[in-house]
Structure 1
Amino acid sequence: FQHGSYGMAQNLESNDVGIIILGDFESIREGDKVKRTGKIMEVPVGEALIGRVVNPLGQPIDGLGEIVTDKARPVEAMAPGVMQRKSVNEPMQTGLKAIDALVPIGRGQRELVIGDRKTGKTSIAIDTIINQKGQDMICIYVAIGQKDSTVRTQVETLKKYGAMDYTIVVNAGASQPAPLLYIAPYAGTAMGEEFMYNGKHVLIIFDDLSKQAVAYREL
């Protein structure tokens, strides 16, 4: 858009294009010029993001300066087929004895953590990240629809235990537009896939996907 905002084409019709606005939309007016970028949406990836807090567009929001990287990956990419995937044969230790003993998680596996409000779901996630220290694991924590103050507290906890040395935090706050909440899990996955395709192990935590579902319904 002519005022610097970006959007992602969602619907392509014969006479119009439906676009979801990513970021500031209050400055957009009827009659504004819109140009296509000629490429699908992508986010910056790579080692430079480790230890940083970014928004779903990969832009730093921690006040530590710009992120310098020449790598980027598309937000929406085709997932590897079943035949391309190895079977789960290596454990992913959470460091929580009850989980590791009763509901063991393997590297390459997805696991749903469900429970009522204030039952410790986020605590399990943060503790698991902290317990990956020295395990050759890159962690990506995607906070969706949380208060900025809550995310700030979690980042401070990760710093306290040295976990930010191997962690990327993607924050799509409750005050941000629905499109950013919608793309947050995809952005976090794209960042993780860069490490995966370079032979590294990655743990991605989405906290939580119910907020992303609400944002999707808004769109």
Structure 2
Amino acid sequence: MKEDKKVKGCVISVQGPVVDVKFARHEDMPSMFEKIVTKRADGTEVILEVAEHMEENVVRCIAINSTMKIRRNTVAVVYGKQIEIPIGDALYGRLISVLGEPMDEAGEIESIEESPIRREDMGTRVSLKSESKEEQILETGLKMIDLLFPLVKGSKSGILGGAGLGKSVLTLEIIHNIIKEHQGSAVFAGVGERIREGNELYFELKRLGVISKTMMVFGQMNEPPGARFIGAITGITMAESIQRKNKDVLLFVDNIFRFIQAGAEISTLLGHLPSETGYQPTLLSEAGEFHERIRTSQEGGSITAVEAVYVPADDLTDPAVVAIFSFLDNIMVLSRDKIQLGLYPAIDPLLSSSAN
């Protein structure tokens, strides 16, 4: 579709990462989660995602990249589709942004296929035959995990802990051991964590020789909440693209708490009434939409998730942590007491649990 034929609106308000776009007619208003593109004063593009429909033909959008230098009355173009990312084998060994743009200075991504990051219809049908398949355990090489909290194909495991307890290090060790042992594929989603950690992980995977089997997407803590929120969603979209080929894929998310935190920021910016301790009222549904996409397909491919979960102030009763709990098959809680004793991995078996 040529740009002059696309529906156009006008930016009427910019408040941090929240941008309001007004349209001439009600019929021109884009659907929820559709992609809108506007430009800064220097000509660079800003990607917006529709979050709310307001009165007087106005849509309220969340910016995925920085809104710096956006001016009022700037033209905003509706693309008539959701945000899409490139998928396919061309992403192996590559590091991309949440919008599917290369970040590793290795040239353009040569992918002919694109996929929307959001799923409208998850489907509720369950095949009893596919669900009754024999469970297969993925060996991590870490005795405590393999014995007490085994990683079963298609399951969801969480590594919970406060600051500095080794969540990222343990995640890296599991990535290395499983990819080396099982010759599988992996997707790593860096959600709201430090740029330094993402940089170290990339070069460490390269050094270990497993980068060619890994896809990486990053929405780091220096980025707007819109980018951090869809970072996890982009990661699961990449994992689903591998699963559709009847392959098993490992999905690593560091850190799923930052996904919830970004959702809370967006909710506050949109003016929604907060729930307990300031979290968004849609906390459980947002966590559910993400985790429902981690499943074993009827054709045979599976997504096995390992999620690092930051625990604020070591409080396991935090509403965000409790919401994530309910979707996990394995809960591995890291203990500060074990760290002080020099015991690694610092998993406290009495606080942890496994349904596998």
TM-score class, shorter-chain normalisation, is: over 0.9
Give the residue type in structure 2 aligned to 1:81. Answer: T
Higher relative contact order (CA 8 A, sep 6+): 1
Shift of 1:199: 0.7
Shift of 1:118: 1.5
Query: SS at the partner of 2:186?
Result: strand
Shift of 1:143: 1.1
Give the aligned partner of residue 214 of structure 2.
Answer: 167
Alignment of 1:106-185 (within 5 A): 106-131=152-177, 132-185=179-232
Give the aligned partner of residue 86 of structure 1.
Answer: 131
**Cα distance in 2 between the residues matched to 1:206 and 1:44:** 19
Query: SS at the partner of 1:94?
Result: coil
**Cα distance in 2 between the residues matched to 1:54 and 1:158:** 15
**Cα distance in 2 between the residues matched to 1:135 and 1:97:** 17
Q: TM-score, normalized by length of structure 1?
A: 0.94
Give the aligned partner of residue 28 of structure 1.
Answer: 70
Provide Cα deviations, 1:18-71, integer angstroms capped at 9, x if missing partner. 111111311311111111101112211111111011111111101111111011
- Between structure 1 and structure 2, the one with the greater Rg is 2
**Cα distance in 2 between the residues matched to 1:140 and 1:93:** 18
Equivalent in 45, 49, 53 of residue 87 of structure 2: 45
Which is further off, 4-13 or 83-92? Answer: 83-92
User: What are structure 1's unaligned runs of at least 5 residues?
Assistant: none
Count of matched residue pairs = 219
Give the aligned partner of residue 10 of structure 1.
Answer: 51
Shift of 1:123: 1.4
**Cα distance in 2 between the residues matched to 1:57 and 1:156:** 22
Query: SS at the partner of 1:155?
Result: helix
**Cα distance in 2 between the residues matched to 1:80 and 1:118:** 39
Of Structure 1 and Structure 2, which has the larger fraction of its residues in strand?
Answer: 2
Provide Cα deviations, 1:95-154, integer angstroms capped at 9, x if missing partner. 212101111111111111111221111112111111122513211111112222221111
- Across the aligned residues of Structure 1 and Structure 2, the Cα RMSD in angstroms comes to 1.6
Residue 136 of structure 1 contacts residue 201 of structure 1 at CA under 8 Å; is this kept in 2? no
Give the aligned partner of residue 197 of structure 1.
Answer: 244
